[in-house]
Amino acid sequence: MGQIVIDIPTGAKRRYILTDKTRTAELIADLDASAIRVKSAHLSREELEYIEDVRDIEQGLAEYRRTGKTYAWEDIEAELGL
């Protein structure tokens, strides 16, 4: 029997046993599509920040592919207060 560990940013703790192979495959596919897979259980603060940066970049690319909208660098500088 395999195991999936999901760390969530709340105090919720739950344990499930999945018996349906089809639904299990669907769950894993959904996790792969919406979460970032990590190889180590213990990540440093820098590694967690890197994962968040990668997620932000992927979301930005997905938005661009969906809308085709780009932003001028001057607008980004103004928004960030640079």
Position 70, amino acid: T
Structural domain span for residue 40: 21-80
pLDDT in tens, 61-79: 999 999 998 889 998 899 8
Q: Which two tokens stand for residue 48?
A: 């967690």
Please indicate, yes or no, if residue 36 is contained in any of the structural domains: yes
* Mean pLDDT of the residues in the chain: 85
Please indicate, yes or no, if residue 56 is contained in any of the structural domains: yes
Please indicate, yes or no, if residue 9 is contained in any of the structural domains: no
* Total-model pTM: 0.47
Total domains, the chain: 1
Please indicate, yes or no, if residue 66 is contained in any of the structural domains: yes
Dist CA 52 CA 47 (whole Å)? 9
Are 26 and 20 spatial neighbours (Cβ–Cβ below 8 Å)?
Answer: no
Please indicate, yes or no, if residue 6 is contained in any of the structural domains: no
Please indicate, yes or no, if residue 41 is contained in any of the structural domains: yes
Hey, what's the torsion of the CAs at 8, 9, 10, 11, to 10 degrees? 70
